[in-house]
Structure 1
């Protein structure tokens, strides 16, 4: 009997000890240092020609490269700018500048699609935020004016894919991804550009809010409008499973996009909408918080994941938490974002020695059988952006301000 009592007491003490242990804190610096190491591997292996890393196939060791016209071309220089922001390393700054300037022709040619914001603002926009370089400012202003040529005032949105007008008979098509390009218009209007750029961005956000979402606030990837009347013809998918399914990255663009639009306008209707599009996403996530490529795909647990959507949403949630007055909800957003980053930072998702990217297991365009279970550059971009934002927030700093002052960077060298 005495032995049983001793055993019971021992187990009680052990269980109490386990319950009192705090969960291991997420190590932001460790994972940012990992990103620096991986980026340096990419820089060491990069070809002499100015080619931009885009993706790495499963099992492959090297990047597939693209030119400046590719829609993903801004993410690599943007990633380097974030790593320069973290380290103050002049070599990373030089490389970030070099790869950004490779995209300069985009500012002086006609718009071929909506991706100019992704391309130019992720690269030159981050560079301007950190350096105040006047060249960067001028390039952003020119590019914003170019993007504005795709705005149809009758519809109230920016045309996404001009090529699809004839190819698919989509008269005026707008995709949810286009929300991210609005940041460049907002910024350009603040830097001396036309106020009409601000007005276009707001109108685009309003029109998209009214037409792109179902009753549960899940998003259509594409909405097609009548060019002449401006009326909505239909909502549909292009990269998701079905027209009425919830494509994971598309919902991520909505979360990130409406959070940013609230930041730029301070209009409460956009903040309220950001909460609504976030709730449906968080409510349907699997336990590990990394979504399958589409929430409604068949045989869901056997479907590929999308680390890029997880990284994108983590970054958006960090910002959204700073605008959320309900302290419990703000904490939920931040806790979820940190948990997403912790999972992405595990051996299940970090590339490590497998290849020089940051993350594995992203899904690009599943219906087109393109980039399935790949490492993809925009996953890396939003992952490092989220890490830098989280570091700033934990330090009591504005997540959009430079992490270090120029004086601090100089002193560090």
Structure 2
């Protein structure tokens, strides 16, 4: 009896050791894969007209854009974040070189995407080093962004195109650009930036959310009365559908706005928006959403890893404010799935990207099921936020 008992214990212990070793080996393999992808970003040549935005894989071709493109800040921001993850000075040096090329955008008043461009680059650099030049660029960019604020509407204008139909369009994505304004007040002491950001967040809170806490992509306002006159989409399946990344912008935007304001209404909305997303019947088991929750082609619709990365990063911060482990467990699950062979870009692909399977603009058949720079940025931010826990 004793020998059988010891044999069973021996088998159990061996099984546990093998299981642990397998898990450790799997984790080690993923780290190696990530390191390989990081090197691809490092080896990409610095060029002011060639910020990598996305990449087609058949044939392989990097979509390059100048600094005026709304995505230009994500690549330098990713390099800053890789430096923080690895401590490798090479990434810091390359991040600084790319960041410097975004400076010319600080006076660009034709765009609301100042936060995406400037804060994701200069702001990430400022987290690494106390650099007065970076602070000055952030404050100047915030001044420029404030010129697009309309006090009647209580919002920052998003787009200038389609003006014959859209009098004053505001997109939910614009919530992410408020971080630049909040930080500009912290840097300068000028409360104007903070007040404009909080006003914009309150206006969006009032008009962008449906009763079920899903989000309208675009709300068009009357500039005289300040009232909404249209609620439509530009990148979703239709006006009443739920565009996955737009839902992600809402979760992230209101979690971030709560960080700066401690307004409980912002935290409440972040949680309600996250609940809608996490519990949606059309969300796949692995947590990486279809590009739009209401695409009738589901389950054959394209996924959007960028939406998953945005939400995952946001949920780590939301967990920090609420200590609700539902957010932590969900974020860990999705981050592990993103950090797997299914979603990491294959090592054989020679492009400066980390994740595959993102969807940019489905209605225009643009950047469908391919690597996109902002997916990488929020994926890396999620890795850093998890590490900070």
Alignment of 1:79-118 (within 5 A): 79-107=78-106, 109-118=107-116
Deviations 1:19-39 (A, max 9, x none): xx7895898786566444313
Partner of 1:70: 69
Match of 1:275 among 266, 271, 275: 271
Counterpart check, 1:335 vs 2:334: no
Question: Are the counterparts in 2 of residues 35 and 384 from structure 1 also a CA contact under 8 Å?
Answer: no
Q: For 1:82 and 1:265, how far apart are their aligned partners in 2?
A: 25
Between 1:109-118 and 1:257-266, the stretch displaced more is 109-118
Deviations 1:100-126 (A, max 9, x none): 01011111x241111010000000001
Match of 2:242 among 239, 242, 246: 246
Q: For 2:187 and 2:251, how far apart are their aligned partners in 1?
A: 26
Match of 1:319 among 313, 317, 320: 317
Unaligned runs of 5+ in 1: 1-9, 394-413
Match of 1:151 among 149, 155, 168: 149
Q: For 2:183 and 2:75, how far apart are their aligned partners in 1?
A: 21
Partner of 1:408: none
Question: Are the counterparts in 2 of residues 255 and 313 from structure 1 also a CA contact under 8 Å?
Answer: yes
Partner of 1:402: none
Partner of 2:117: 119
Partner of 2:204: 208
The alpha-carbon deviation at position 282 of structure 1 amounts to 0.3
Tell me the secondary structure at the aligned position of residue 153 of structure 2: coil
The alpha-carbon deviation at position 255 of structure 1 amounts to 0.3
Between 1:346-355 and 1:253-262, the stretch displaced more is 346-355
Q: For 2:362 and 2:232, how far apart are their aligned partners in 1?
A: 15
Counterpart check, 1:368 vs 2:364: yes
Between 1:58-67 and 1:310-319, the stretch displaced more is 58-67
Alignment of 1:376-395 (within 5 A): 376-393=372-389
Tell me the secondary structure at the aligned position of residue 64 of structure 2: strand
The alpha-carbon deviation at position 61 of structure 1 amounts to 3.5
Tell me the secondary structure at the aligned position of residue 224 of structure 1: strand
Alignment of 1:214-233 (within 5 A): 214-233=210-229
Unaligned runs of 5+ in 2: 1-7
Deviations 1:311-332 (A, max 9, x none): 110000000000015xxxx211
Deviations 1:254-282 (A, max 9, x none): 00000000000011111111110110000
Tell me the secondary structure at the aligned position of residue 188 of structure 1: helix
Partner of 1:352: 346
Q: For 2:124 and 2:25, how far apart are their aligned partners in 1?
A: 26
Partner of 2:4: none
Match of 1:294 among 269, 292, 295: 292
Tell me the secondary structure at the aligned position of residue 277 of structure 2: helix
Q: For 1:175 and 1:45, how far apart are their aligned partners in 2?
A: 32
Partner of 1:39: 38
Tell me the secondary structure at the aligned position of residue 246 of structure 2: helix
Partner of 1:3: none
Partner of 1:304: 302
Q: For 2:321 and 2:24, how far apart are their aligned partners in 1?
A: 24
The alpha-carbon deviation at position 48 of structure 1 amounts to 5.3
Partner of 1:163: 161
Partner of 1:133: 131
Root-mean-square deviation (CA, aligned residues, Å) is 2.3
Deviations 1:200-240 (A, max 9, x none): 11111110011001110100000000011111002111100
Q: For 1:94 and 1:213, how far apart are their aligned partners in 2?
A: 42
Q: For 1:164 and 1:193, how far apart are their aligned partners in 2?
A: 36
Q: For 1:34 and 1:256, how far apart are their aligned partners in 2?
A: 28
TM-score, with length taken from structure 2: 0.91
Change (3 A) 1:118 1:27: farther
Question: Are the counterparts in 2 of residues 26 and 338 from structure 1 also a CA contact under 8 Å?
Answer: no
Q: For 2:126 and 2:136, how far apart are their aligned partners in 1?
A: 10
Question: Are the counterparts in 2 of residues 141 and 193 from structure 1 also a CA contact under 8 Å?
Answer: no
Question: Are the counterparts in 1 of residues 79 and 92 from structure 2 also a CA contact under 8 Å?
Answer: yes
The alpha-carbon deviation at position 44 of structure 1 amounts to 2.0
Tell me the secondary structure at the aligned position of residue 305 of structure 1: coil
